[in-house]
Amino acid sequence: MSIKFAQKFLEKIVLHKIVECRYWKEHCFGLDTKTLLEKAMELDHIGGTYGGIRKPTNFLCLVTKMIELKIPKEITVEFIRNEDFKYVRALGAFYYRLIGEPIDIYIELEKLYSDFRRLKKLTDNGYSLIYVDEFIDELLHSESSCDTSLPRIPKRIRI
């Protein structure tokens, strides 16, 4: 795994927990771009880490795999534009927020403010519901999401 590249986006301890978790070893290790999409279509929740031992969610494992594979912008945008699988869309949006250019992030993610579907989010307190548009707002305006520090981007008005 390209640990040094992934460390630009994820904390070292979280990255270590990801590569040591069962889901990573059994489902993510040999993924390529096509098979990653198939795994993304199986997602049923979003989230970062949870529980006393801070176990990573499958969502965060797939984000890490996208970082490792350096999924190109064009493919990521197709994930974001996917209307059939809301968790594929959320995965693409989260990854794009990590790697995209600020203006491109706003252009692509602001389109999702009209998506009012519910997402399950796994937290320390179990599952909670969040709407896609709320998740997008979190990505655009918060310093962190899914237990991951997000790169700083300028406010929309300054771009």
Instruction: Output the DSSP codes for 20-41.
Output: HSHHIIIIITT--HHHHHHHHH
Residue-wise pLDDT for 6-38, tens only, equals 667 888 899 999 999 999 999 998 999 999 999
Region 45-71 average pLDDT: 95
Q: Is residue 153 part of a domain?
A: no
pTM as predicted: 0.94
Gap between the Cα atoms of 97 and 71, Å rounded: 13
Q: Is residue 39 part of a domain?
A: yes
Domain count, the chain: 1
Q: Is residue 122 part of a domain?
A: yes
Q: Is residue 158 part of a domain?
A: no
Q: Is residue 124 part of a domain?
A: yes
Contact 149, 139 (CB under 8 A): no
Domain span at residue 105? 3-148
pLDDT for the residue numbered 157: 81
Gap between the Cα atoms of 60 and 147, Å rounded: 9
Q: Is residue 65 part of a domain?
A: yes
